[in-house]
Amino acid sequence: MGQLLQALVIASRGRTGTRAAEAGTLRYMARLKITLVLASGARIGPGKAKLMESIRDAGSISAAAREMGMSYKRAWILLDSLNTAFEPIVVATTLGGSGGGGARLTDFGRELLERYRRMEERAHTMFEEDLARLQQVARPDAGPKI
């Protein structure tokens, strides 16, 4: 039974990897993850950036949380940490009621997201050759991701 499962996993990886390579996706390429750490210790990384994008697109914390597969409470905590990290607020909310509530990125929130994504893009471009070389010599399965 164990050998059969192992064979299925290997076969599945081969097919998926081939399709990803043919489609030109970055699924199996080395990549950078940028996390900004402010002097205060506050952090902004890919998860908070994605949450800000989801808020921007959905106009709602609950809808953004659902889209990302996280609880409303977790999304609220992450957004509160962003609003606490900066003088200008990042996300503004309106209370619910008969008209419903909502959330939106402030002008500063849009600026923060734009700057984060720009830094991410520049870093990837700057290190593209290094990433490609390291991916060339990386093992396909390096064991547990620790």
Domains and CATH numbers, the chain: 35-137 (1.10.10.10)
Write out pLDDT tens, residues 19-47.
334 444 445 678 889 999 999 999 999 99
Whether 111 and 105 have beta carbons less than 8 Å apart is answered as no
Write out pLDDT tens, residues 69-127.
999 999 999 999 999 999 999 999 988 766 667 999 999 999 999 999 999 999 999 99
Whether 116 and 44 have beta carbons less than 8 Å apart is answered as yes
